[in-house]
A = this chain, B = another copy of it.
């Protein structure tokens, strides 16, 4: 212990969990001002470290966002999986994920902000894709092999989520997104 413990201002040389602290700060910052306005130096300030500390863990800004996106794909896969065997509920899970993890969601679909070929990212994306395929197969086995069916289900859920998150449905902003999404999603496949 070189640092004298004078209460909350204590700042040991080693943060201990800086990487996660920075990711958490990024989620907050993005929720406030969007991914484009994200500043590594601001994250460093929020975490109480020097301005160059983030670079050590992520390389550059795109590296940090790539890690966030990777987390996001796994959160998304989990949300879709835990929705059960009903395709509509899987879609509701997709929408719920987007709204509850808005920062992750926004970053995931802005490839210009990240390292799109990062192996970890590609793998996580594949896991999420598998979860979507599984949801379709569980609910509509007869269409599981149709590419159009999967694209339609994905597009519908993704479109609703994107429009909601981007504030394109201002009239509905007060309501529960899952409740609004459910009857919308039911229109697909004549179900």
A residues touching B (Cβ–Cβ < 8 Å)? Answer: 33-37, 109-113, 116, 148-149, 151-152, 154-163, 166-169, 180, 183-190
Contacts and interface: CB of A to CB of B under 8 A. Distances in A.
Contact of A162 (B148, B162, B186, B190): B162
B189 A187 contact: yes
Nearest to A180: B151
Contact of A110 (B36, B154, B157): B36
A155 B184 contact: yes
How many copies of this kind of chain does the complex include?
2
Question: Which of A33, A152, A157, A188 neighbours the largest number of chain B CB atoms within 10 Å of its CB?
Answer: A152
A152 B148 CA distance: 16
B36 A109 contact: no
Contact of A116 (B111, B116, B167, B190): B167
Nearest to A125: B168
Contacts of A116: 167
8 contacts: A34-B113, A35-B36, A109-B162, A152-B156, A155-B156, A155-B184, A156-B156, A190-B190
A160 B151 contact: yes
